[in-house]
Amino acid sequence: MRVEDLRPIELFAGLSDEQLAELLAASEEIAFQPGETLWVEGGHADDWWVLVDGVIDLVRRTEREDMVVGRMDAPGRWAGGFRAWVETGRYLAAARGLEAGRVLRVPATALRDLTARWFPFGSHLIKGVYGMALYVESTARQRDALATLGKLAAGLAHEINNPAAAATRATAALGAADDALFASLNELARHGITAQQFTALDDLRRDLASRPAPAYVDLAEIEDALAERLEASGVDRSWVAAPVLASANADQQWCDQLAEVVDERSLQAGLDWVVASLQATVLRAEITESTRRISELVAAVRSYSQMDRSALQQLAVTEGLESTLLVLGHRLRDGTVEVVKEYGEVPRIEGYAGELNQVWTNLIGNALDAMAGEGTLRITTRPGDDGGVVVEIGDSGPGLPPEVAERAFEAFFTTKPVGQGTGLGLDIARRIIVERHGGTIEIDSEPGDTVFRVALPPAPPTT
């Protein structure tokens, strides 16, 4: 490799030809082929690797599969070399060739010596800043992650508790309905009801079960009329039976048919059997709906966290937006927030689904904070000019002053009170969109209309 090969690479701008020659003398040119491993995850970062040409995938191993967590695809992209500054530095991912190319491998010791000789003051600064940055960012990210996790866990507990409590109540009530059902059957048997009578009674029950629900405005009138009719026939506890029959859209004609099917002695037991059967049907439906809701929430959490999918994948951004809205559902119901969704037909993109969900969580959470529980949340997707996807998340809050909007993506900058924000949410969102996905994120804000606009590039063509 020659000095001329390094000169066009922006990473080396400012170095003289003599310095580049010295760097080459201390390094080694490594050619690689697709599928070839250059370094392994967890190994000591004893070398600094600089991409000259080609493409390298950065891969991490999970319990089930290898996940692509990054890509070196432009000359000057580099990795490793951490032991030039930190003795414990290790490779955070393995490197695997995707397209044939070359890298410059510089031992970490040589990198440390060269920077110390060329930029002695800068070398000390790098070491200090690197160590302090690792400590501060690690502490802040841990705190932010724990705070976010706590909020999501509390919200999910609230979301799951409602259908779980409903299922528990319905199960207990179903037991009582079953007891009433068997007691009424016993009473009918003691009164000597015939098979033909019981068949006719069951036909009346089926007739009610197939009727549409009555209009809500008529329900009270139907209950009153049925209660009077039942009391006139000598039925006890008409106030218990009437609401159930009214909800099933029973009428005077149905009551007359019931009186024709069973005799006066069996009327009470027959009515109790029909009412208990209807109650059991309603309660089973409530249990089914509650457990379905719990299953939906579990599925949404799996989708949100991407527990069962690899990192780099073809994905639909609307799926991530929907799972994020479901996970944040408790916050949407805490106030009077109207959610307006305008999903256009957009292509699938290639990205890291879990990280994008983190972006949507930050942006939607910030919008809800800005509106203080009252306003309109707008979520829009549309095709980008480059064939990618544009996602806009807007709110009707008070907006951001220009001086705040300019600094919104700065690390550790926050307008929230002490203890309520770390200033990392939008910085993390910017890193994920810009550095991890090659997209853009920007703000348009004025009172009553703040929009965060995320543009993601199209997925590469499949071969």
Residue 356 has pLDDT above 90, yes or no: no
Q: How confident is the model at residue 376 (pLDDT cuts 50, 70, 90)?
A: very high
**The model's pTM:** 0.47
The model's pLDDT over 316-352, given as tens digits with 9 standing for 90+, comes to 999 889 888 877 776 776 668 899 999 999 999 988 8
Write down the residue that tokens 């949404």 correspond to: 300
pLDDT level of residue 422 (50, 70, 90 thresholds): very low
The residues pairing with 44 across neighbouring beta strands, listed in sequence order, are 90
Q: Which amino acid is at 247?
A: S
* Residue 390 confidence (pLDDT): 95
User: For the CA atoms of the chain, what is the radius of gyration?
Assistant: 34
pLDDT over 70 percentage in the chain: 83
Identify which of 385, 350, 384 has the alpha carbon closest to the alpha carbon of residue 460. Answer: 350
Q: pLDDT-based confidence at 421, cuts 50/70/90? A: very low
Vertex 129, ends 127 and 135: CA angle to 5°? 105
- C-alpha separations of 133 from 125, 128, 140 in Å: 12, 8, 10
Q: pLDDT band for position 308 (50/70/90)?
A: very low
User: Which residues, including other chains, have CB under 8 Å from residue 301's CB and lie 6 or more apart?
Assistant: 156, 323, 327
Query: Which pLDDT value is given to residue 426?
Result: 82
Closest CA to 345 of 324, 318, 378: 318
CA–CA distance, 247 with 393 (Å, rounded to integer) = 42
- Average pLDDT on 228-232 reads 81
CA dihedral 331→335→338→344, nearest 10 degrees, is -10
Mean pLDDT of 427-440: 85
pLDDT at position 454, please? 95
Write out pLDDT tens, residues 46-57.
898 999 999 999
- The band of 153, judged by pLDDT with boundaries at 50, 70 and 90, is low
Helix, strand or coil, per DSSP, at residue 433 = helix
293 vs 35, residue with greater confidence = 35
* Bridge partners (DSSP) listed for residue 445: 450
Among 98-112, 204-218, 414-428, the least confident range: 414-428
List the beta strands (DSSP E) in 357-457: 374-383, 389-395, 440-446, 449-456
Report the pLDDT averaged over residues 199-226: 80
pLDDT per residue as tens digits for the range 173-202: 899 889 989 999 998 898 888 899 999 999
